[in-house]
Structure 1
Amino acid sequence: MTIRPNRLVADVLSDAPATLRVFLDFHMRCVGCPIASFHTLADAAREHDVDLDSFLAALHAAAAAPALGLVPPPVAGEQTLERG
């Protein structure tokens, strides 16, 4: 996925949920913000005084990385393994 500065924050978070960690790491409280549907990544970086190039690079890396440690919820009727 290509992440450009003109993409909306909400769209990036929706399309690549792994990027959530990047927003938090950059101390950006965009997650859950009502303005996220209107602010572009460039807007958010400017508002939070974040270097746009570093931010975009981190977003790209997060979006490209496989989701580790995420386990989908069990499907009804399936058995689950419990750890002891």
Structure 2
Amino acid sequence: MRDEAADKMAIMLSAIHFREMQGQTTTLRQLHQISEMPQPEALSLVDKLQKSGVVEIETNLGDAFESRVTLNGDTRKRLNRASTREAA
């Protein structure tokens, strides 16, 4: 079960990273679509990622589901390095 949770976190981080590389933002509303997970599961997962400091959530007070999810600087750097190695 633990490996499955880690796999899902990796899928979500990869999806957010890909969108950031394309210049796209990611909102809480979009998480379940880009990760292909049920919305409650995607929101729970991103909450854990935020609490662990891997992602940041910029709150939208008008519509919480429009709050933006971004990778923190260190996570982005690590994923950029990994992407560069895979491309080589």
Q: Of the two, which has the highest radius of gyration?
A: 1
Higher relative contact order (CA 8 A, sep 6+): 1
Shorter-chain TM band: 0.3 to 0.5
Q: Which has the higher strand share?
A: 2
Q: Which has the higher helix share?
A: 2
TM-score, length-scaled by structure 2: 0.34
TM-score, length-scaled by structure 1: 0.35
